[in-house]
């Protein structure tokens, strides 16, 4: 897919808004948190470059959940001398298999998922202000310890009202940041390749057709 196609598809998505709660039902986040923390306790976590943050992959390149791919794509490329895009990571890990039955959204998005992972922030864990690229769109599912007194997701000049177990589309081309004030904040960050089929899935299944452009406007 060309960069122009990605731009057109991304523009079609964000025409409905930059921050949108999906229509998927709230998941059993307690069950998911238990599975993920138990897996990490047994197998370890990958420590990201930014302090107080670690992760486990559900989609990456080598199928190993404890993988450098949970770092930022920029850090991964710098560390490995590569020039990968988010969409170059398409292999499902055993952690995907462990949790997918409990998260209907990732079952439906499976054909379009690329580099995706659980992120575990300890007290003081941060993602500094940044913005992401056009090669994927982001869906965020807060899982554990993400109440407003424990955790903040800043988006430009706002704090987003995220609820555990719900899922949200977020336009990460705009500036955003994250900080945790408590140990064990858990998020699921999904990258989705912005193909026409993926855009149509997002509009139709995840957003219920809200303000959807005609599919013929997409490449």
Using pLDDT thresholds of 50, 70 and 90, give the confidence band for residue 217: very low
Tokens encoding 51: 């302090």
Q: Span 163-174, mean pLDDT?
A: 94
pTM of the entire structure? 0.92
Average pLDDT over residues 144-172: 93
Residue % of the chain over a pLDDT of 90: 61
In whole angstroms, what is the distance from residue 111 CA to residue 79 CA? 28
Q: What's the pLDDT at 212?
A: 55
User: Tell me: the pLDDT tens digits for 93-103?
Assistant: 999 999 999 99
pLDDT at 218 (0 to 100):
41
Q: Which two tokens stand for residue 141?
A: 């599912």
Q: What is the CATH number of domain 3-208?
A: 2.60.120.330
Q: Let me know: does 78 contact 140? Beta carbons within 8 Å.
A: no
Residue 124 has pLDDT above 80, yes or no: yes
Helix %, strand %, coil % of the chain (to 5): 35, 25, 40
């Amino acid at each position: 897919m060309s960069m122009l196609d990605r731009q057109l598809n991304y523009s079609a998505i964000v025409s409905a808004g930059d921050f949108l709660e999906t229509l998927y039902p709230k998941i059993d986040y307690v069950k998911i948190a238990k599975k993920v923390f138990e897996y990490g306790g047994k197998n370890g976590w990958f420590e990201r470059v930014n302090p107080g943050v670690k992760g486990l992959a559900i989609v990456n390149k080598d199928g190993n959940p404890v993988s450098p791919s949970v770092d930022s794509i920029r850090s991964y490329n710098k560390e490995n001398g590569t020039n990968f895009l988010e969409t170059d990571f398409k292999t499902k890990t055993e952690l995907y298999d462990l949790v997918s039955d409990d998260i209907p959204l990732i079952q439906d998005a499976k054909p379009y998922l690329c580099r995706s992972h659980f992120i575990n922030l300890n007290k003081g864990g941060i993602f500094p202000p940044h913005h992401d690229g056009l090669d994927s769109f982001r869906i965020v599912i807060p899982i554990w310890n993400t109440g407003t007194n424990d955790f903040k997701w800043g988006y430009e000049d706002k704090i987003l009202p995220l609820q555990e177990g719900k899922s949200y589309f977020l336009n990460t081309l705009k500036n955003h940041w994250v900080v945790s004030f408590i140990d064990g904040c858990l998020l699921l960050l999904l990258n989705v390749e912005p193909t026409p089929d993926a855009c149509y899935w997002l509009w139709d299944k995840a957003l219920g057709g809200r303000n959807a452009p005609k599919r013929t406007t997409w490449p």
